Structure 1
Amino acid sequence: MPARDAVPLPRLRAGCVGVVGAGTGVLAHTQGHGGLPGVGGLLIVAVAGLGLGLAARHTARLLPLLAGGQLLVHLLLIALTGQHHQLITAPMALVHGLGTLAAWALVLGAEQLVRTVAGLALRVLVLVGSTPIEQPSGVLVPAFAVPQCQRLRHLGTVGTRGPPVLSNSF
């Protein structure tokens, strides 16, 4: 079983890679003078980004996955907009390459930031939680005396009468 502090990081990374990969792909495509589809087409690109994010769980595969994600987003946007006359141009390839590097830097920077903030939060919790709590040094005694009425005490015990006996008088 993985360590407790390492469990949320792959989930966070998957979401971050998916959003950043698809977002930089769309941004790079528009900067390379490519067209954008409607809302439905952008949802298809977002689902492709989600699949890209789920595949990215290890650092060694991050850069190839982001580059493949840029290519996938580019091909999806070309197919969804119907601009098939030029598959890729030099400016389009350049901005998609820069988009890959930007996505890689954003994901690695976000991971480092999360680790730093988590480490600082852990240090603060250790400092706050390490102050000793004062324990009472003796037995606590009530400051008032409970009045006792002797007559009531005797009245409760006087007599031998018990509950009525079941009889066959029904």
Structure 2
Amino acid sequence: MPFEITRTVVDELARGRGNGRSAADELASWLHVGLAVEVSLPTEAEEVFLSLVGGSAASTIDDGEAATFAYAVATGSRPVTDDKKAIQIARSRFPDLNVCTTSDLLLHANCRAALGEDGLANCIENALKRALMRVPDEHLDRVVTLLGYERASQCRSLPHWARQGHGITASTSPIAKAS
């Protein structure tokens, strides 16, 4: 079953080309081979979309994430985003919505089986370096272990403390200590 990508996201990624980003080209190849399909925002999703983009900066998210969540709410699908603020707002507004991150997808057993350990490590490293993928705290240990400390230290989108090579565990994570 292909990923469903809203037209809003396709357009947003296309605008990123002017900033040297290649996500639109990568998405175009997914669309071409059928790994993804472009979908329109259903009429019943419009109110949710507008509620997510209208208001104070603290309570709104960008159009791409808003369209993704509105589509998911309307269709019962599972949204994928790495935007931390968007995830927090979605979990607050739609507690039953099961938000997924790129890390969730890449670390899934099916992806690991399809790519193998080396292929998965290369894929994650590319996502970290080229797309500046954000890795949720609960996946940092697995990602750093998979990459190894030397490769992880070169991935500037990982938190500084995760690139230090001292090991990441629930007891050493500054996030876990703050909780």
TM-score under structure 2 length normalisation: 0.21
Instruction: Say which structure is richer in helix.
Output: 1
Q: Which has the higher strand share?
A: 2
For normalisation by structure 1, the TM-score amounts to: 0.22
Larger radius of gyration: 1
